[in-house]
Structure 1
Amino acid sequence: MEHRHVPVMLEQVVAALSPALDHAGAIYVDGTLGLAGHAEAILTACPGARLIGIDRDPHALARSRERLAGFGDRVVLVEAVYDELSAVLERLGTPPVAAVLLDLGLSSLQIDDLDRGFSYSQDAPLDMRMSPADDLTAAAVVNTYSVGDLARILRRYGEERFADRIAARIVAARESTAFTRTRQLADVVADAIPMAARGSGGHPAKRTFQALRIEVNRELDALSGVLAQALAAVGVGGRVAVLAYHSLEDRAVKRAFRDRVEVRLPPNLPVVPDHLRPRFRLVTHGAQRPTAAEVESNPRAASARFRVAERIREDA
């Protein structure tokens, strides 16, 4: 699968993180290691840097361990969910780190392995777990959640305007046959969407599958936790970089960065006290997007949004 793995916005990521990793012993944390495409490029570009690579998927870690073997003891890999970042660093006895990268969403390994059930365009078991150790599957969600709970997650995580219709159709369909396959679910979802709305916005089941994936893997809850932990983990001059792939992720990143770079002062304050000064600055003003050439060669990059913040002051 490595030949199909093309790291998104690779040049921009390396350029953004290299200034923070240009000294010996600089620690780079990849919180979503995947197949280690970004990690390999950063370790190559920054020969003094060391990597702590985190991923919840043991299959991805096994592939990455092979890929990064040539970097020897510069690499430490840990199986964990990325919102366990603080616990991982504490367990490793790590000082403030120089850079953190979060490449959100699915890895190429998860997309291309049909048995994982992430794709609505291929028939596969209805799973969607990023870690096989987790208990909740997409099949369990669609077969056991109430119509109200299904509609809620479709609206919240999929921004699906036909959430109520889809949830009702799912509940009605499962009364006769439990959902076990992705094609089975995709067909029911497509039938629930009015014909006039099926011709735009991609596959009719795209938003439903996104919502189920986020629910199964509690992605937004984990994202909220890891953003706070990543920003707290970097020392002065350290950078936090995030690649997001849909608006829910990107809004969370934008909000977390904004809250740490804006100064909210009482009116007519003559001097800004140190504890009110911002601790971070934005390296990217607005979200960077992939070039047209990259999107043409790697369509999976099309929705990417890249943001970077740098610590400029210790916490008060």
Structure 2
Amino acid sequence: MNAPHIPVLLDEVVAAFAPLAGRRIVDGTFGAGGYSRALLEAGADVVAIDRDPNVKPHAERLAADFPGRFHFVPGTFSELDVLATPFAPIHGVVLDIGVSSMQLDESERGFSFMREGPLDMRMSQSGESAADLVNNLEQEELANLLYAFGEERKSRRIAQFIVAARETAEITTTLELARIIEKAIGRKPGDAHPATRSFQALRIAVNGEFDQLVEGLFAAERLLVEGGILAVVTFHSLEDRIVKRFFDPDKGGPAQSRHLPQIKLDPRRWDPVAKAIKPGSAELERNPRARSSVLRSAIRTGVEARPVSHDQLGVPVVRGSA
């Protein structure tokens, strides 16, 4: 039996938008509807977006429970400004980045290295699959992908073992790939599963998650009214770094000397930016999958939205093979 989906940092997300009565919030990553239901119960109207066709029953249930206050639009959150404009004005956007426990628990979706299933990982259930990447990329490009998107330090050895294995037969299942990775780099008691970072990298590549995230952030900047709130939950350092730089692009830049002409900084599109929030011990005990989550939120100013910039946010790039 599949474990129920438990929304991460739910109370903190709802608190970030308070007060909610009469406000309209876009839930850009609807999933099983945990955030949407909590926001509706707190008094908000919700426009939900998701590209996964399997979420339809959850959306139908909320539409029945909150008639006239819940609207579902199929699509990707990278286009949330276009998809949600008919429901404007929009006072808040919430994004929960990454794979949901609902998807992890469906072995046929191929997201989990703990469950036997086809090596798929496509959230939209269309396009190039993880099996396509694993079986067709050149060894160097595969290694670069695992390093850039998964921060896998042993990516070259893993890629070498994958290429050797696929010369005998195509790699088609999740557990088959997990075993190859474990054989390549070993497993120490108490450590995370050796396939964790590689599966993350493949999932990000298959679904274009970094591009989706960047496009979604800038779409929210275009969509939100002045004073509107954007709240983003991420699950690993690469995503969190992108969100942090988006909210505060000047932070971490070179210090300015008071003895030299001052560099004119861009006017702030988000101010104030709230302090990052991580789950407490009670939530971690209840939901171990929340352990790497971080919530960042900020308030939209009246300054004109910026053009989309991937470089400015330090989005990882996979180099091609030589």
Shared fold (TM-score, shorter chain, > 0.5): yes
The one-letter code matched in structure 1 to 2:170 is A
- Structure 2 residue 137 is the aligned partner of structure 1 residue 142: no
**SS state of the match for residue 72, structure 1?**
coil
1:7 and 2:7 are equivalent in the alignment: yes
Match of 1:42 in 2: 39
Corresponding residue number in structure 2 for 1:84: 79
Which deviations, in whole Å up to 9, do the C-alpha atoms of 1:202-251 show, x marking residues without a partner?
A: 00001110001001101011111111111221111110000000011100
- Identify the residue that residue 101 of structure 1 maps to in structure 2: 94
The whole-number CA distance in structure 2 between the counterparts of 1:62 and 1:16 is 27
> Shift of residue 172 of structure 1?
0.9
**Which residue number corresponds to residue 296 of structure 1?**
285
- Tell me which residue corresponds to 1:173: 165
Aligned to 1:224: 214
Q: In the alignment, which residue of structure 2 is the partner of 1:151?
A: 143
Instruction: Give distance in 2, aligned partners of 1:267 and 1:62.
Output: 59
Residue matched to 1:115: 108
Amino acid at match of 2:304: D
**CA separation in 1, counterparts of 2:102 and 2:93?**
21
- Partner Cα distance (1:84, 1:276) in 2: 25
Alpha-carbon distance in 1 for matches of 2:36, 2:273: 20
Q: Which residue number corresponds to residue 129 of structure 1?
A: 122
| Alignment CA distance shift 1:96-1:137 (3 Å) | same
Match of 1:250 among 236, 240, 243: 240
Q: What SS is found at the alignment partner of 2:214?
A: helix
Deviation at 1:3, TM superposition (A): 6.6
- In 2, Cα distance between the equivalents of 1:122 and 1:59? 19
**Are 2:109 and 2:121, in contact at CA under 8 Å, matched by a contact in 1?**
yes
Is structure 2 residue 297 aligned with structure 1 residue 308? yes
2:248–2:270 contact (8 Å) kept in structure 1: no
Which residue of the partner structure matches residue 17 of structure 2? 17
Separation of aligned partners in 1, 2:219 and 2:250: 13
Query: Aligned partners of 1:39, 1:181: CA distance in 2, in Å?
Result: 33
After superposition, what is the alpha-carbon deviation per residue over 1:231-278, rounded to whole angstroms, capped at 9, x for unaligned? 2211111100000000111001001001289999997999xx9x9542
Distance 2:270 2:260 in 1: 21
User: Residue 32 of structure 2 aligns to a residue in which SS?
Assistant: coil
Residues in 2 aligned to 1:311 and 1:233: alpha-carbon distance in whole angstroms? 10
Question: How much is the aligned-residue C-alpha RMSD, in angstroms?
Answer: 2.7
One-letter amino acid of the structure 1 residue matched with residue 286 of structure 2? S
User: Cα gap change, 1:269/1:99 in structure 2, threshold over 3 Å: closer, same or farther?
Assistant: farther
Separation in 2, partners of 1:163, 1:83: 29
Q: Write the distance in 2 (CA, Å) between the matches of 1:277 and 1:124.
A: 49
Tell me the equivalent position of 1:186.
178
The corresponding residue for 1:54 is: 49
The secondary structure found in structure 2 opposite 1:61 is: helix
Q: Normalising by structure 1, what TM-score?
A: 0.88
- Once the two structures are TM-superposed, the CA of residue 61 in structure 1 deviates from its matched residue by 2.9
In 2, the alpha carbon distance for the partners of 1:297 and 1:254 equals 27
Deviations 1:138-172 (A, max 9, x none): 11110111111111110001100010111111111
| Bigger helix fraction | 1
Cα separation, 2, equivalents of 1:154 and 1:3: 29
Give the 3-state SS of the residue equivalent to 1:148 in structure 2. Answer: helix
TM-score of the superposed pair, with normalisation by structure 2: 0.87
Q: 1:83 to 1:76 in 2, by over 3 A?
A: same
Distance 1:240 1:268, change over 3 A: farther
C-alpha displacement of 1:282: 3.4
Question: What is the CA-CA distance between 1:198 and the residue it aligns to?
Answer: 3.7
**Alpha-carbon offset, residue 199 of structure 1:** 4.1
The one-letter amino acid paired with 1:140 is D
Q: Measured at CA, do residues 155 and 175 of structure 1 come closer, stay the same or move farther in structure 2, by a change above 3 Å?
A: same
